[in-house]
Structure 1
Amino acid sequence: MKFSLFVTQQCNLRCSYCYIQKQSKTMSDRTAKQAIDFIFKRSKRFNETINIGWFGGEPLLEFGRMKKFTQMVTEHPQYSADKVVISVVSNGTIFTEEIGQFLKESGIIFGISCDGPPDVQNKFRKFRNGRPSSKRVERTILRAHEMLGNSMINAVYTPSTLKNLPDTIHYFSRLGVRQIYLSPDYSAYWDEEAVFQLPKIYDAIGDLYISYYKKGDPHYISLIDNKISVILRDGYDRKDRCRMGIAEFAITPEGNVYPCERLVGDGNNNRRIGNVFTGIDPEFMLCHCAKGQAINKECLECGVKQYCMNWCGCSNYMTSGYYNRVSSFLCHSEKTILQTAFRVFRVLEKELGPVFYEHLVGKALSETV
């Protein structure tokens, strides 16, 4: 179960590819209480971990609210520390001793969005006045690592920064980061030239992964670890797949409910599926679905479809305009990273023996590095 709560839609950065429209809205105590009730009520019929993420905008602009809402979660009658995981995703420009101490004491997972070294970070992720953000974000990464241990980093790559991914991983590694999530900008135009570069770049990432592992310093790199996990488990499990609007929701400051945070936009668009005060519209999935077959014909006939993210509704929507229609870029990217992950697996298993047992239960290295 995954719930993203928009503490605010304000942000001090103006990242050019951001899919959330910046507004002055913040979540009230009343809406937060109703949203948390919605979370526990919706999760009751699922015997699963509940992941609650504080989101934005930049949620740490409203640190006081985030603290209060966290307390609302932990004091809820249905709260169980064994069942609830709380996280916050920040742009890395706001971090203090008080924030670090609170995150540590509360056991909140801290994620930082950073696209890479200064020349990459500053290309798209700038302050409202146009000033670069890299120096401040790098300080936050170092301080968070010192206070919290292994925080996770999410780096967005675009057609113009795809070639920088190996250097980006090197950069994070030098800063002590060992959990690296790499996410393509699905809203970008991925032309044939960019798609053609995927095998070369993904293989370079695979080589880095192998080298770190052989040195006894394994790094969790999402592109590689996620696919090795899926390969070992012979495909995506039902709970791995997108269940937006069923077991995945995003809630805006006004209490509007969306099937995924990437579909919120300005918070008032026609992808809204309900409100925490009025409930969910059961007909929402009829919107933005391509008529006829559920997915592309080539997907239905593909031999690796069970290992592919063709099920990701928001990625499909961002790239093809339909929840159930896979784009050419996603298809090529998935096939390419599968080949790279399988090569990495074979090399390391051959040279080091069985090293991926934890992946069989979907843990990958994110819980061990």
Structure 2
Amino acid sequence: MTITKNNSSLSSFFIPKQITKCTLLVTQDCNLRCQYCYIEKKNAVMTLDVAKKIVDFAFQKNPKNGQLKIGFFGGEPLLEFEQIKLIVGLIKNHPRYSSSNVNISITSNGTIFNRDIADFMLSQGIVFCISCDGPPEIQNANRKFTNGQGSSVVVEKTIQEALQYFSLLPVNAVYSDQTLQYLPQTVDYLVNLGVKNVYLNPDISAKWTQQHADQFPEIYGVLAEKYLQFYLQSKPKFISLIDNKMSIILRGGYGPFDRCRMGSGELAFGVTGNVYPCERLVGFDDGKTNCIGNVVEGTIKPLSCKSVPIAAINSECVQCGFSEYCMNWCGCTNYHSTGRYDRVSAFMCAHERATINIAYHTIQRMNENGIDLSHHIQGTPLVNAVNNSGNH
């Protein structure tokens, strides 16, 4: 299975219409140098003037009484914690702000945390997410400080402290061709720390081969068995790789609002106001590659690239019986692995097939054991972990 990139046929465009999610890269600086990061590092910080333009644009393009997600990203956003506090003030003082309609989040590498940060996020109702790839040997191999030192000790301490404030703290673990086999140990490690909300995401830039693809069913199957045991022990956990796919299957496939709508309903903003279809496409933020304009200059325009993908154009995808349950529409994943927003890599196909099969099998097992799947059918599987948030 060889992944090749094809940058030729970039023909149609994105048009921002109704924005429901925007990501602000408050800085592209970072104190870590993760091997797989898709954001190039540079010393740049978003000013309040730029942030105000973004906030005004987001509310202007958000439907009346619509839901709006605003995320702080980087680099490492908490390097600019004071600036984040000021930007949150801009958001909450906006005439169209409503606490019931606006969701604010911060995604951090977990190396910066203290009581002041926790108190601020709690008081402002901010969702806090930490990235941690697993046990020390995995975390330290991929996520090192700029001096080459591993980050595991610091991040583990942060997770333990943060869980005292945020019982459902989301933790995001990235796995690659080098760490795929350790996914079950990663889940065990995070659960033993007290994490109930686990996101597992493959490194889409890794050197995946057919040998790895052949391992997906067995390794994902081990995860599914752990997942089932959590339920049988009345201690359910949310594991994105399983929960999300189960929910999609039970609901009959991906609906329009289950897809990210990159570039039309979802945008990312660089430190100078450059606009991108997704935070994973910001790169060096050169204002050229994947850029659709600048919010400060008022030049947001159609992107001479590709249409917003609603499905892949691969002939095998068109004919596949799994297509309704498959993330073949994920434009940024496709772009990083094939160079095209609408063409799926062989890796992604194998990954999706494995997760769909494992999720379907897990549904059968849960039905056999009389486990209630109503929250999955409603598209809210995390509620099961929420209802168990008092149990450790």
Q: Give the TM-score, by structure 2 length.
A: 0.90
Which protein, 1 or 2, shows the higher relative CO under an 8 Å CA cutoff with sep ≥ 6? 2
- Residue 49 (structure 1) aligned with residue 40 (structure 2): no
- Residue 164 (structure 1) aligned with residue 190 (structure 2): no
Q: Distance in 1 between matches of 2:327 and 2:245?
A: 10
Q: Which moved more, 1:73-82 or 1:274-283?
A: 274-283
- Residue 37 (structure 1) aligned with residue 56 (structure 2): yes
Listed as ranges, the gaps of 5+ residues in structure 2 are 1-19, 387-392
Q: Which amino acid aligns with 2:373?
A: F
- Residue 199 (structure 1) aligned with residue 227 (structure 2): no
Aligned match of 1:4: 23
Distance 1:198 1:294, change over 3 A: closer
Deviations 1:119-140 (A, max 9, x none): 0101110000000100000000
- Residue 257 (structure 1) aligned with residue 275 (structure 2): yes
Q: Distance in 1 between matches of 2:58 and 2:307?
A: 26
Q: Is the 8 A contact 2:312 2:342 kept in 1?
A: yes
Aligned match of 1:19: 38
Distance 1:39 1:289, change over 3 A: closer
Q: Distance in 2 between matches of 1:216 and 1:249?
A: 39
Aligned match of 1:357: 374
Per the alignment, in what secondary structure is the counterpart of residue 208 of structure 1? Answer: helix
Deviations 1:10-53 (A, max 9, x none): 100000110001111000010000010011111136x6421100
Q: Distance in 2 between matches of 1:306 and 1:280?
A: 36
Per the alignment, in what secondary structure is the counterpart of residue 72 of structure 1? Answer: helix
Q: Is the 8 A contact 2:280 2:332 kept in 1?
A: yes
Q: Distance in 2 between matches of 1:240 and 1:33?
A: 29
Q: Distance in 1 between matches of 2:306 and 2:255?
A: 25
Distance 1:367 1:87, change over 3 A: farther
The root-mean-square deviation of aligned C-alpha atoms, in Å, is 1.5
Q: Which amino acid aligns with 1:234?
A: G
Among 226, 230, 240, which residue is 2:248 paired with?
Answer: 230
Task: Give runs of aligned pairs for residues 324-343 of structure 1, distance below 5 A.
Answer: 324-343=342-361
Aligned match of 1:209: 227
Distance 1:208 1:280, change over 3 A: farther
Q: Distance in 1 between matches of 2:300 and 2:44?
A: 24
Q: 1:192: how far off?
A: 1.3
Q: Distance in 2 between matches of 1:366 and 1:298?
A: 36
Q: 1:289: how far off?
A: 6.9
Among 107, 111, 123, which residue is 2:129 paired with?
Answer: 111
Q: Give the TM-score, by structure 1 length.
A: 0.96
Q: 1:196: how far off?
A: 1.3
Q: Is the 8 A contact 1:6 1:250 kept in 2?
A: yes
Per the alignment, in what secondary structure is the counterpart of residue 95 of structure 1? Answer: coil
Q: Distance in 1 between matches of 2:199 and 2:157?
A: 19
Per the alignment, in what secondary structure is the counterpart of residue 275 of structure 1? Answer: coil
Equivalent pairs: percent with the same residue?
A: 46
Q: 1:352: how far off?
A: 2.1
Among 146, 156, 170, which residue is 1:128 paired with?
Answer: 146
Task: Give runs of aligned pairs for residues 51-200 of structure 1, distance below 5 A.
Answer: 51-200=69-218
Q: Distance in 2 between matches of 1:366 and 1:265?
A: 35
Q: Distance in 2 between matches of 1:312 and 1:171?
A: 29
Q: Distance in 2 between matches of 1:283 and 1:249?
A: 13
Distance 1:145 1:308, change over 3 A: same
Per the alignment, in what secondary structure is the counterpart of residue 85 of structure 1? Answer: strand
Q: Which amino acid aligns with 2:302?
A: E
Deviations 1:179-215 (A, max 9, x none): 0000110111211111111111100110110011100
Q: Is the 8 A contact 2:27 2:75 kept in 1?
A: yes
Q: Is the 8 A contact 2:197 2:385 kept in 1?
A: no
Q: Which amino acid aligns with 2:39?
A: I
Q: Which amino acid aligns with 2:119?
A: Q
Aligned match of 1:274: 293
Aligned length: 364
Per the alignment, in what secondary structure is the counterpart of residue 164 of structure 2? Answer: helix
Deviations 1:54-98 (A, max 9, x none): 110000000000111111101100001111000000000000110
